[in-house]
Amino acid sequence: MTKDEIQVWMLIAFAIVLALGFYKVYTIFNSPAAGPDTKTQHTQLENIVIDFLKHHENKDINSEELFLLLQGLDELQGEAYKNFNRNRLNQLLQQLFYANEVNSLGELISSIHQPERDTSKENDA
């Protein structure tokens, strides 16, 4: 092989490796991260908290007491909710306060229980 042929083959090999490198970088940055979908997990957590509050009658509870009660739930014992903490609960409660147009946990519990009473009155009529 002559010097020119070796240079051509080296150039071809370089182009192939460069193309593979670009492809690898593209797949790394455009593939979703492994693990649960955070939006789905947030929705599931919101549903768990709302279901718990539907069955909870104490309107004088604060967020710390609520957090301790929620930690005992079987639904939150899985690997998916290992990062559930007070800060996450407070963020979720703030979103629920905004969505239900209330200012406190007691008002939130009342607003969650309110639709149940309205539907039971409509069923009686």
- Total number of domains constituting the chain: 2
Whether residue 72 sits in one domain with residue 91: yes
29-56 burial code (b ≥16 CB/10 A, e <16): eeeeeeeeeeeeeeeebeebbeebbeee
Please identify which residue in the block is written with the tokens 């104490």: 58
Q: Verify that 6 and 22 share a domain, yes or no.
A: yes
56 and 112 together in one domain: yes
Instruction: Indicate the pTM of the whole model.
Output: 0.60
For 18-58, write each residue's pLDDT tens digit. 999 999 999 988 877 666 667 788 888 888 888 888 887 77
pLDDT (tens digit per residue) in 67-85: 888 888 888 787 777 788 8
Domain holding 105, by residue range, is 38-124
CA 33 to chain centre: 14
Residues 22 and 3 in one domain: yes
Q: CB-hemisphere CA count at 13 Å for 12?
A: 6
- CA 67: distance to chain centroid? 17
On whether both 96 and 56 belong to a single domain, the answer is yes
